[in-house]
Amino acid sequence: MKKWTTIAFTAALAVTVTACSSNAGNPAANAGGAGADPGGGSGQPVTLKIVYKDEGTSNAASVKFFQELEKALAKDEGLDVKFELVDLAQGSYAENLNLLLLGGTIPDIIYFQGGDQQMAEQGLLEDLTPYIEKSEHLKTILEPHNQTRMASYPYLLWIKPLAPKVPVVRADWFEAMDSSKALTADPSVDNYYAFFKELAEKKPGSGKPSYALTAAGDIAEINTIFNAAFGLDQTWIKKDDGTFEYSRISEGEKEKLAFYNKLYKEGLLDPQFITKQWDTKEDAFYKGEAGVITGTAGKIIDLYNGRMQELGGESAKLVVLPPAKGVSQGFGATDVTKESRGLAISSQSANKEAAFQVFDYLASPKGQMLDRLGYEGENYAVVDGKIELNDNYYNNWYARFWEPVEIKSEIPLQTPLLGEPGAKSLELASTFYTEDNSFIIPEQFVANWDAMNNLYKEYSTDFITGKKDLSEFGAFVDAWNAAGGADITAYANETIQ
């Protein structure tokens, strides 16, 4: 991750001056609190700018949610706020967010999916620790892994279940194939290959799929299925001599890339996986072009399930597949150094207290009912004093903010929060949970780390597609070490206990 330039500081300071000037004499804008007048006696609501992936002004569901949240905050908290959704251009969210922030537009609330560390290093993200300590609700819903991550990196909040990417396939296709039983009994790499082979050749259903597996842009999603099977179950692999080496330069990585190359050459891996985005990946799955995709365990899998059944009928419900089994088995070790994605509050915001009050309210029983359950009459009904969730909830609703394991709803639930596929995916995620041994890359290595990861992406893509032969893997390792890998490996061996 590259450090920000001086222009970013200048832009941020300009925003700060403008924001502070516009809120001069407005103590409630920073004080917040139930019953406070956020307008500082002016009668004007506090405007909170928020940038959030997929939650823009063109999304009618997003606009409605934030309007309903405004009403709930006013009613329950006495907090008069106006959310201003900041739109980004189509394409890479992380890249477009970076352009927005470098251009001097720094919203009060920012959703990051990478790229946050460069802002934190420049002091542009608020340390949330004191806010959490004083909170009424939010501190009570933090999971242990959230607490561990916040202790070392207190800028991002993402209170969700541990939810790796998990593979899914249509049940009617799964049940139509002979290889499915063997895969269920023993999800070895060989049995996965046989399953993919039959899926692409037998083309169950409507004469599709064209290929067995697709992904969005790189191999990270596919790795969640296969990494552990090739012994890549942590970022740093302990060798026989007791020292650590980076997993991506190990012999296991080379073997895994050879397997991916085999899938690619035989047409089992989508030949356009490199250029696919998340939406085109999902579209290929819904259209039946791809037999298997990965999705985030939990609610996202239920959304996939609902959409697939809308298109293919009840028999098209989804089956969650296990991780491949080999040297080890799992969906990948969990990084507990920091949240990999999440919501932050800008340190430049003039309304930091009000922004965090929104966070805290969404952790309350009333806030959870809105965020987790949706709207009465649309997503659920109250029957005999209990909440009954309907198909519109299971197929369309998702929490935009916090999803603690235990929901504190004012009205008890009659029906479970997750459908069968979503629940199964989280069950598997829990079964195969392990902690990673990764660490936050020190600032002096950040630029090198960025370059090294780009080097890996370039080489790994070429190995998979056959542009480079795997006999050149040693050349990649040499290039990786020369780009800074040797220094970071030395640091890792001093750091990892």
pLDDT at residue 238 tops 80: yes
Average pLDDT over all residues of the chain: 89
| Residue 344, H or E segment | strand 342-345
Number of separate helices (H) and strands (E) present in the chain: 22, 12
Tokens representing 298 are 């939990």
HSE-up of 333 (CA within 13 Å, CB side)? Answer: 19
Q: What 3-state DSSP class applies to 358?
A: helix
Q: What tens digit of pLDDT does each residue of 132-158 get?
A: 999 999 999 998 889 999 999 999 999
pLDDT at residue 20 tops 60: no
pLDDT at residue 218 tops 70: yes
Q: Phi/psi of residue 467, each to 5°?
A: -70, -30
pLDDT at residue 336 tops 70: yes
* pLDDT reported for residue 208: 75
Q: Could you give the domains of the chain? A: 6-159+339-409 (3.40.190.10), 165-333 (3.40.190.10)
321 φ/ψ sector (left φ>0, alpha ψ -120 to 50, else beta)? beta
Q: Which segment of 14-28, 69-83, 117-131, 209-223 scores lowest on mean pLDDT?
A: 14-28
Helix-, strand-, coil-residue percentages of the chain, each rounded to 5: 50, 15, 40
| pLDDT (mean) for 372-400 | 94
* pLDDT reported for residue 196: 97
Bridge-based pairing state of the strands 109-112 and 81-85: unpaired
Bridge-based pairing state of the strands 386-389 and 46-51: unpaired
pLDDT at residue 7 tops 70: no
Question: 278: Cβ–Cβ under 8 A, 6 or more apart, which residues?
Answer: 216
In 313-442, alpha helices (H): 352-361, 365-373, 391-396, 420-431
| Residue 8, H or E segment | helix 6-22
**pTM of the full structure:** 0.76
| Residue 129, H or E segment | helix 129-134
Say how far apart CA 35 and CA 396 lie, in whole Å: 34
C-alpha R_g of the chain: 24
Q: What 3-state DSSP class applies to 31?
A: helix
| pLDDT (mean) for 170-190 | 96
Nearest CA-CA partner of 354 in 78, 6, 152: 78
The 8 Å CB, 24+ separation contacts for 231-238 are: 231/326, 231/327, 231/328, 232/256, 233/327, 233/328, 233/330, 233/332, 233/333, 233/434, 234/333, 234/434, 234/436, 234/437, 234/438, 235/333, 235/335, 235/436, 235/437, 235/438, 236/437, 236/438, 236/492, 236/496
pLDDT at residue 270 tops 60: yes
Name the one residue in this structure whose structure tokens are 């916090």: 402
Q: Phi/psi of residue 407, each to 5°?
A: -85, 135
Residue 256 contacts residue 232 (beta carbons within 8 Å):
yes
* pLDDT confidence tier of residue 23, bands split at 50, 70 and 90: very low
Q: Per the omega criterion (within 30 degrees of 0), is the bond before 187 cis? A: no
pLDDT at residue 36 tops 90: no
pLDDT at residue 4 tops 50: no
Q: What tens digit of pLDDT does each residue of 286-319 get?
A: 999 999 999 999 989 999 999 999 999 999 999 9
Residue 80 contacts residue 355 (beta carbons within 8 Å):
no
More confident residue, 358 or 435: 358
- Percent of the chain whose pLDDT exceeds 70: 91
pLDDT at residue 480 tops 70: yes
Burial label for 88, CB within 10 Å (0-12, 13-18, 19+), is: middle
* pLDDT reported for residue 12: 40
Name the one residue in this structure whose structure tokens are 């470098």: 102
Bridge-based pairing state of the strands 318-320 and 165-170: antiparallel
Tokens representing 120 are 């934190």
Nearest CA-CA partner of 135 in 363, 360, 408, 401: 360
Q: What tens digit of pLDDT does each residue of 86-119 get?
A: 999 888 898 899 999 988 889 999 999 988 988 9
